[in-house]
A and B are shown apart, each in its own frame.
Chain A
């Protein structure tokens, strides 16, 4: 039998049972579409997150006291910094870090306890101010106004998310009241920013944030640690972000690590507790690997759905072999070889599997695209998964069709021709 005739006959059999074939294909479509939906949406989120990360915080090196990792234990995102990091990086350390080759700027970050902020009669509960330096604000970060000045009291920068929390429209030049446990202070909003560099994740500061200069706010009321190098107590930070020269991130990171681990005040304060130094590249790798794991897991669920579809094909093909026993006998009496009968049934199963892919892939892409639109992430076409899913349609067809086709080939023509 010629291949083309085999295809024609297989197609005829399938279209002869339109509804049944369609329902069988639906099982495969669901499996393949699920794979594509999860893969395309997952890949899109991954690409989006990673590119955002890279564009907003390229060449940053994060220093956190305490052992935190990303990826394996996921501790990086768990809980607030205060719960696991110790104030250990002293002002002396910060000066030393600033002098390391390849470091462009040092952005310490700390929090100053407060109880609330209020504006125009509305009070917003907020447990801390975020202390940082003016260098933490890049031009793109500032929406209006400017950064505060270091050493100046009474000036703050609000994050956009903080501005949105107030019903009344806060603009640059307005004053807000900061309430602490021991009193309150009226400060002027000098700028509004989307975020400040030096925070973790750098996806922008989602929660409402009020930024103040470390000098004087953190230095006056923040925690302190003993500077082993200078023999006095100094304000100390839990977290510092370094901006490295873009072409020297990796080497700079090593130098920073060496300093921190060998001669810093921080290492004396921390003792056995380690210090974590990670560059954006490390973080991106970590996030990528976490997301890849998630995509694999969820896509695996789709593969399970495909399994169910495979059983559907096998089931229908077995029914079909029984129903068509007589046809098989007729074909054999007219010269069909066992191999040809087998191929004919296998072709049917493969066509069902491929039909599942042909319908399932575009459907999955459409839903994945819709989900990306909804989640406001850029859509990335998951080419590899399209190939994998199509191959899975084919393989599903072959595997689920093998046993029924083998049964068909083994039909005894004499029995079959007697079959009523």
Chain B
């Protein structure tokens, strides 16, 4: 089916529509088509309710489309079983959320190892891996702290370390700077840029133009459709 992979796209979204039935029908995505080339860095912008998170959740195999195809790593998520989608999330995808979404009772180190636990890594191996990553995001001295003992920026860095744990093909970041101050936001964007340079494909949702401009291109959405694709200066 995904025979047209001349360019080695990591994600292919083809004529995807997503509807929610809540009394009436809400069309969150309306015939969206999009490709994320390997090692690309894409930002999605748009007003609240335009369908940005919905798009991210579909690509993240957390949900399936009402119609159309979402292909991640040349696998159509609609045809995958629940368990296969879970495995895809655990090994090929890394999530970063606005609200960090860390396990409150686990330490920074344990949070960073979480995907490795479900990927059945050995305990010592995964701890070494997580420790390296935490050091990489500048939290080498905080690995045994609980999330509540960390600042917002530090928590988001733990989340980044966790997203990178399995060295996923694709990183999905839904407003990662939404809950931190400008300076911390810049540090986080720095980390994402480094990650992208190492080869991970990134899809980033943001409200801020300033943040979006870090990406190679910006996809503008309104009312569930892509209205404009903008190549940024970063591309040059």
Complex CA distance for A297 and B177, rounded to whole angstroms: 65
Min C-beta distance of A9 to chain B, whole Å = 8
8 Å CB contact of A333 from B95, B104, B120, B123: B95
Complex CA distance for A234 and B60, rounded to whole angstroms: 104
| Contacts known (A413-B62, A414-B62); A336 close to B102, Cβ less than 8 A | no
Min C-beta distance of B67 to chain A, whole Å = 18
Binding site secondary structure of chain A: helix
In the complex, which residues of chain A have a beta carbon less than 8 angstroms from the beta carbon of B106?
A: 12
Chain B, range 85-110, C-beta contacts under 8 Å to A: 86-87, 89-91, 95, 97, 99, 101-106
- Is A18 an interface position by the 8 A CB rule? no
Min C-beta distance of A354 to chain B, whole Å = 22
Considering only CB atoms and an 8 Å cut-off, how many residues of chain A contact the other chain? 25
- Is B82 an interface position by the 8 A CB rule? yes
- Whether the Cβ atoms of A330 and B120 lie closer than 8 Å is no
Considering only CB atoms and an 8 Å cut-off, how many residues of chain B contact the other chain? 29
8 Å CB contact of A1 from B62, B89, B105, B117: B117
Q: Closest chain B residue to A13 by CB distance?
A: B105
- Is B157 an interface position by the 8 A CB rule? no
- From A29-37, A110-118, A337-345, the one touching the partner chain is A337-345
- Is A329 an interface position by the 8 A CB rule? yes
- Is A72 an interface position by the 8 A CB rule? no
- Whether the Cβ atoms of B118 and A331 lie closer than 8 Å is yes
- Is B38 an interface position by the 8 A CB rule? no
- Whether the Cβ atoms of B89 and A334 lie closer than 8 Å is yes
In the complex, which residues of chain A have a beta carbon less than 8 angstroms from the beta carbon of B12?
A: none
- Is A253 an interface position by the 8 A CB rule? no
Q: Closest chain A residue to B111 by CB distance?
A: A330
Min C-beta distance of B173 to chain A, whole Å = 13
- Is B229 an interface position by the 8 A CB rule? no
Complex CA distance for A339 and B87, rounded to whole angstroms: 12
| Contacts known (A1-B118, A2-B120); A333 close to B82, Cβ less than 8 A | no
- Whether the Cβ atoms of A335 and B105 lie closer than 8 Å is no
Complex CA distance for A340 and B105, rounded to whole angstroms: 19
- Is A332 an interface position by the 8 A CB rule? yes
Min C-beta distance of A397 to chain B, whole Å = 21
- Whether the Cβ atoms of A330 and B102 lie closer than 8 Å is yes
- Is A5 an interface position by the 8 A CB rule? yes
- Is B52 an interface position by the 8 A CB rule? no
- Whether the Cβ atoms of B115 and A334 lie closer than 8 Å is yes
Complex CA distance for A7 and B236, rounded to whole angstroms: 51
| Contacts known (A339-B83, A340-B118); A334 close to B105, Cβ less than 8 A | no
Q: Closest chain B residue to A2 by CB distance?
A: B120
- Is A109 an interface position by the 8 A CB rule? no
- Is A327 an interface position by the 8 A CB rule? yes
- Is A326 an interface position by the 8 A CB rule? yes
In the complex, which residues of chain B have a beta carbon less than 8 angstroms from the beta carbon of A2?
A: 117, 120
Min C-beta distance of B206 to chain A, whole Å = 18
- Whether the Cβ atoms of A337 and B103 lie closer than 8 Å is no
- Is B219 an interface position by the 8 A CB rule? no
- Is A231 an interface position by the 8 A CB rule? no
Min C-beta distance of A131 to chain B, whole Å = 81
In the complex, which residues of chain B have a beta carbon less than 8 angstroms from the beta carbon of A1?
A: 117-118, 120
In the complex, which residues of chain B have a beta carbon less than 8 angstroms from the beta carbon of A327?
A: 103-104
- Whether the Cβ atoms of A12 and B105 lie closer than 8 Å is yes
- Is B76 an interface position by the 8 A CB rule? no
8 Å CB contact of B90 from A9, A12, A335: A335
| Contacts known (A1-B117, A1-B120, A330-B114); A335 close to B103, Cβ less than 8 A | no
In the complex, which residues of chain B have a beta carbon less than 8 angstroms from the beta carbon of A12?
A: 105-106
Complex CA distance for A34 and B117, rounded to whole angstroms: 40
In the complex, which residues of chain A have a beta carbon less than 8 angstroms from the beta carbon of B63?
A: 414
* 12 CB < 8 A contacts A-B: A1-B120, A2-B117, A5-B117, A327-B103, A330-B101, A330-B102, A331-B103, A334-B115, A334-B118, A334-B162, A335-B89, A340-B86
Given A1-B118, A327-B103, 10 additional A-B pairs, CB 8 A: A12-B105, A331-B118, A333-B95, A334-B118, A334-B162, A335-B166, A336-B86, A339-B83, A340-B118, A417-B62
